[in-house]
């Protein structure tokens, strides 16, 4: 049992609460992305015990962070939105040197890899210009269609959570169910949590198998896309500066985020 995965999972769970920040990005930063994908995709293989020993503390850390910090994250995003976003912006920018180093960009990249990188960056960056109209939080599952909508929203979000640079929370925001998910976590609305969570769990298993295949067959291309996704996500996370009063705190949190990424990335 890898007990270090408790704090790793907590970091991933915290990031998945923030629209624009991906748990996959944090997994790369912590140096466990490939192992994470391998474990999720292999949960029904003959090595399921080994993968389960890796995933259990990771999952416990994620669940504890999501349930215990959902109110704090909601408060930070409501009253200190810009400094909070700038911390994660610094974290995301700080991870790019690690990705470039891992991909051995200068030695392995060709024109097609740079093209894929730019395309991925433009794809994710363009999401920052899509208006996300949030509906009011859904409190009760009053119909099958409502439950099905939440289930498939969780499924789509889980695919994004596995990919560095694409935020599952932002996908929920685009689908109009982010407020429902956050409210359910904050109020322990278990029917809604279980419905979305079931979609997330199934999406994890299905998507991880595809990502594992691509990492094995086309590792350089996958890294080029990942770098593009992470770079493009900076557009989504960047909150702008609304007043001079938020400028200094935002600079401090940005530096803190970048320093955290460089510190953790230097250990991998």
Q: How does pLDDT run across 45-63, given as a tens digit for each residue?
A: 888 888 989 999 998 998 8
Q: Of 90 and 135, which is predicted with more confidence?
A: 90
Taking the C-alpha atoms of residue 14 and residue 65, their distance in angstroms, rounded to an integer, is 6
Q: What percent of the chain has pLDDT over 70?
A: 92
Task: Name the residue range of residue 218's domain.
Answer: 5-265
Q: Is the pLDDT of residue 136 over 90?
A: no
Taking the C-alpha atoms of residue 183 and residue 173, their distance in angstroms, rounded to an integer, is 13
Angle among Cα 65, 67, 68 to the nearest 5 degrees reads: 65
Q: Quick: pLDDT tens for 69-125.
A: 878 877 887 899 899 889 988 988 888 888 888 888 889 999 999 999 999 999 888
Q: Quick: pLDDT tens for 172-185.
A: 877 778 778 888 88
Closest CA to 211 of 62, 56, 64, 22: 22
Q: How far is residue 98 from each of residues 26, 62, 107, 212, 227, measured CA to CA in Å?
A: 12, 23, 15, 20, 10
Q: Is the pLDDT of residue 171 over 90?
A: no
Q: Of 200 and 25, which is predicted with more confidence?
A: 200
Q: What pLDDT score does 122 carry? A: 92
pLDDT band at 252 (very low <50, low <70, confident <90, very high): very high
Q: What pLDDT score does 267 carry? A: 60
Q: What pLDDT score does 41 carry? A: 87
What does pTM read for this prediction?
0.74
The count of structural domains within the chain is 1
> Do 74 and 182 touch, CB atoms closer than 8 A?
yes
pLDDT band at 25 (very low <50, low <70, confident <90, very high): confident
10 Å CB burial of residue 132 (0-12, 13-18, 19+) is middle
Exposure b/e, 133-151, CB count within 10 A at least 16 = b: eeeebbeebeeeeebebbb
Closest CA to 124 of 32, 213, 228, 10: 228
User: Out of 9-13, 111-115, 138-142, 241-245, which region has the weakest mean confidence (pLDDT)?
Assistant: 138-142
Taking the C-alpha atoms of residue 124 and residue 126, their distance in angstroms, rounded to an integer, is 5
């Amino acid at each position: 049992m890898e007990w270090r995965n408790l704090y790793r999972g907590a970091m991933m769970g915290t990031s998945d609460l923030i629209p624009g920040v991906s748990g996959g990005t944090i997994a790369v930063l912590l140096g466990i992305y490939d192992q994470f994908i391998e474990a999720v995709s292999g949960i029904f293989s003959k090595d399921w015990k080994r993968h389960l020993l890796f995933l259990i503390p990771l999952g416990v850390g994620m669940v504890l962070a999501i349930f215990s910090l959902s109110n704090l994250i909601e408060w930070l995003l409501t009253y200190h939105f810009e400094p909070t976003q700038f911390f994660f912006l610094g974290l995301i920018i700080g991870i790019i040197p690690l990705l470039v180093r891992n991909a051995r960009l200068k030695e392995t990249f060709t024109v097609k890899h740079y093209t894929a990188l730019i395309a991925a960056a433009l794809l994710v960056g363009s999401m920052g210009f899509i208006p996300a109209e949030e509906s009011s939080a859904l409190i009760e599952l009053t119909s099958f269609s409502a439950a099905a909508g939440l289930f498939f929203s969780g499924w789509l979000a889980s695919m994004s959570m596995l990919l560095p640079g694409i935020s599952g929370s932002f996908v929920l925001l685009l689908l109009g169910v982010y407020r429902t998910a956050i409210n359910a976590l904050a109020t322990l609305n278990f029917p809604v949590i279980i419905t979305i969570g079931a979609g997330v769990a199934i999406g994890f298993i299905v998507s991880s198998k595809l990502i594992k295949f691509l990492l094995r067959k086309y590792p350089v291309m996958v890294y080029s896309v990942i770098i593009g996704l992470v770079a493009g996500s900076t557009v989504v996370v960047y909150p702008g500066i609304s007043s001079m009063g938020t400028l200094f705190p935002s600079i401090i949190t940005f530096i803190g985020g970048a320093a955290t990424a460089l510190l953790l990335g230097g250990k991998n």
